Homo-oligomer: A and B are copies of this chain.
Amino acid sequence: MDKEMILNWLHELAQGQLSPDEVLKKLADFPYQDLGFANIDSHRNLRNGNSEVIYCPGKSVDQIVQIFRALAEKSQNVIATRAGRRVFQAVQSQIPDAEYYQAARIVALWRNRKLTRGIIGVLAAGTADLNVAEEACTTAEIMGSKVIKIYDVGVAGIHRLFDKRELIEQCRVLIVVAGMEGALASVVGGLVDKPIVAVPTSIGYGSNFKGVAPLLSMLNSCASGIGVVNIDNGFGAGVLAHRINLLGEIK
């Protein structure tokens, strides 16, 4: 509608009802973002593979359902992260196609299932890190990336990691999920030269300080080429890896 308003002014100017100076003044006073910023949002949707996201914590079930419905009308894919089963049931009662990815704690409406050719490899150190890894996987998949899961490859049994080297080589970008001391990121970074997104998890106890130990480990990795996201932030890792993965697709 903003465009209409501006177009009206221009038509009035063309018809002599307004002078150039009057229009200039109107334009100057016009909240500038109405011209351009809205585009950001539509651009955003285009680039995100037509997916919209709801972060559930701090929102009531009702609020989540309402936002979910609104987004489901504008966007093919919708994901709600950090969602409990109760949230899923409420969403599903309104949008029957919604699915629940329990391990990832994600409620999703996944209508556009076209995937990239490039692959995101998601490595997880231990079984306790799986929730975060799954959040990364599901996020990246629903946004449109092909994903392979390479789990239980912690450095305490380092041969399991080396057994997967061929698989790892096939990926375009890697997500490394690890709690405890988070050494997996460094070891993977020492093996391959691909972009790595490292996700520390809060798995551990005592001087782990709820993920601070692997966070510092990953930030200080002696291997280069590692970008770190917040503790337990599987979603953020999925988004970043997807964006990197897309770069290899577009041509």
On whether A232 and B205 interact (CB within 8 A), knowing A3-B28, A36-B2, A41-B157, the answer reads: yes
Cα–Cα, bound, A32→B162 (Å): 6
A39 at the interface (CB under 8 A from B): yes
From the candidates B181, B220, B226, B236, name the one contacting A208 in the complex (CB within 8 A). B220
A233 CA to B180 CA, complexed, in Å:
13
> Are B126 and A180 closer than 8 Å at their CB atoms?
no
Interface size class of A (residues with CB under 8 A): 35 or more
Least distance between A6 CB and chain B CB atoms (Å)? 6
Question: What are the residues of chain B within 8 A of A200 when measuring CB–CB?
Answer: 206
Segment at the interface with B among A7-15, A84-92, A93-101: A7-15
Say whether B226 contacts A229, CB under 8 Å: yes
Q: A24-B6, A162-B32, A183-B186 are in contact. Are A207 and B220 (CB under 8 A)?
A: yes
Q: Does A61 contact B (CB under 8 A)?
A: no
Mark interface residues in A46-81 (1 if CB within 8 Å of B CB, else 0): 011000010001110001000000000000000000
Instruction: Please state the number of chain copies in the assembly.
Output: 8
B-chain residues with CB within 8 Å of residue A196 when the two chains form the complex:
240
Taking CB as reference atom, which chain B residue is nearest A82?
A: B205
| A187 to B, closest residue via Cβ | B155
A–B complex contacts, Cβ < 8 Å, 13 sampled: A2-B38, A37-B162, A40-B157, A154-B222, A155-B190, A172-B247, A181-B216, A181-B221, A206-B230, A212-B216, A225-B243, A227-B228, A247-B248
A interface list, Cβ under 8 A from B: 1-3, 6-7, 10-11, 13-14, 16, 19-21, 23-24, 27-28, 30-41, 43-44, 47-48, 53, 57-59, 63, 118, 125-128, 154-159, 162-166, 172-173, 180-183, 186-187, 189-191, 193-197, 200, 202-233, 235-236, 239-240, 243-245, 247-248, 250-251
